[in-house]
Amino acid sequence: MKRKHYLKLFVYQRPKTEIEKDFNTETLALAEYVRAQRQIDLQNCRFDFISESKMQSNFIEFFEEEAKKRKGCYNWTMAVRYFKAFVGEKISFTELSETLAEEYTDFLLSSPAIGRANRKIKKNTAVAYFGRFKLALKAAFKKRFLPIDLGAIVESIKPQETHRPFLFMEELQRMATAHCDNVIVKKAGLFSAMTGFRYSDVHTLLWREIQGFPGNYYILYKQEKTESAEYYPVSDQTIELLGSFGDPEAKVFEGLRYDHTVTELKKWLVNAGISKHFTFHGFRHTFATLQIAAGTSIYTVSKLLGHKSIKTTEIYVKIVDALKKEASEKIKLDFFNISQIAVNTVITQNSKPEQTMMICNPEQNKDTIRQQ
């Protein structure tokens, strides 16, 4: 089957001047070049080759397009900015390699943070940005811009195990009843604590993704971080928190902005009488920790959090185990005093007063004891 592709190039039907003849010659040459290039592209697809024109195109533009699909996700936006700070405004797909990725890893871990010349970004922040870079590489491979799956080959930055702040149930209840100036931030925070959703997933959630009926509500969505499709059951109370449904294509938390969230959360914590360091992501930690503490299976919690590996979820088991150990140390008894009281009681019942005194005072002279 033959297909026509219109290039929107035109020539003079009857050229009269040299200029018109030259114009026709150059236009026909351009058309022939495009035709030849298209023929090569078709053959490359047929024989599973990568188009040279694709490989010579700008990866930065591709990376930016991938970030736009995430609808302003902060980590994607910053991932693009840091990669541009590393390579500049342009780099072709042919220049991407394992060596370049390793150099980019070193750049993220050692270079000053954007906007903060005297500080480096935290290691786990570098993990997040490099993870987006790898996702962009995998997307490039799927779309035939790269001949190999570089995103799968490149080694990830190992995350640093850190303290994961969370709220106890009593603290979460105080947050629920405390005043927050920004209602959207409060709803989003409590929603995250009740579902374990990341900020990126809360921010992009649409009304049409919430489906079901009382007693059987669920959310069908794609995780921003893992890009995996998820079926997520939610409680009726969670749906009540959201209020009346809006336009299917509208965001559930319309107007939610990360910079505002940071500021409002600090004030909200103060209003709730909570002084610990706590970020929005802490609501996700709260969900996981409270679920594990309540006896929910680690495998169930892992699925609800969308973890690809159970090892990621095990950190919350460690947190709960540490809390149990701490709780076991709460009740302290003075066993020495208890034993002494018991001895004194027995001696008082079965011995003379003088004997009791001597037993209670073992350092007393032994000759005195024999005299008795």
**pLDDT tens readout for residues 132-170:** 999 999 999 998 898 889 898 988 988 776 667 889 899
Ranges 117-131, 192-206, 254-268: which has the least confidence: 117-131
Both tokens assigned to 100: 């370049």
Asked if the model's pLDDT at residue 242 lies above 70, the reply is: yes
How far is the C-alpha of 190 from the C-alpha of 202, rounded, in Å?
11
What is the Cα–Cα distance from 129 to 115, expressed in whole angstroms? 16
Whole-number pLDDT of residue 160: 73
Distance CA 93, CA 59 (A): 6
What CATH number was assigned to the domain covering residues 169-328? 1.10.443.10
Q: Global pTM? A: 0.54
Task: Indicate the range of 33-47, 63-77, 221-235, 279-293 predicted with least confidence.
Answer: 33-47
* CATH code 1.10.150 for 54-153: yes
- CA dihedral over 234, 239, 241, 247, signed as positive or negative: positive
User: Exposed/middle/buried for 167, CB within 10 Å: 0-12, 13-18, 19+?
Assistant: buried
Cα 345 vs. chain centroid, distance in angstroms? Answer: 63
Least confident of 62-76, 312-326, 358-372: 358-372
CATH 1.10.443.10 residue spans of the chain = 169-328
What 8-state DSSP symbol labels residue 148? S
- Kindly report, as residue ranges, where domains of CATH 1.10.150 are found in the chain: 54-153
Share of the chain above pLDDT 70, in %: 76
Structure confidence by residue, pLDDT tens digits, 274-320? 998 899 999 999 998 888 888 888 888 888 887 777 777 777 777 77
Match 């929603």 to its residue by tokens: 191
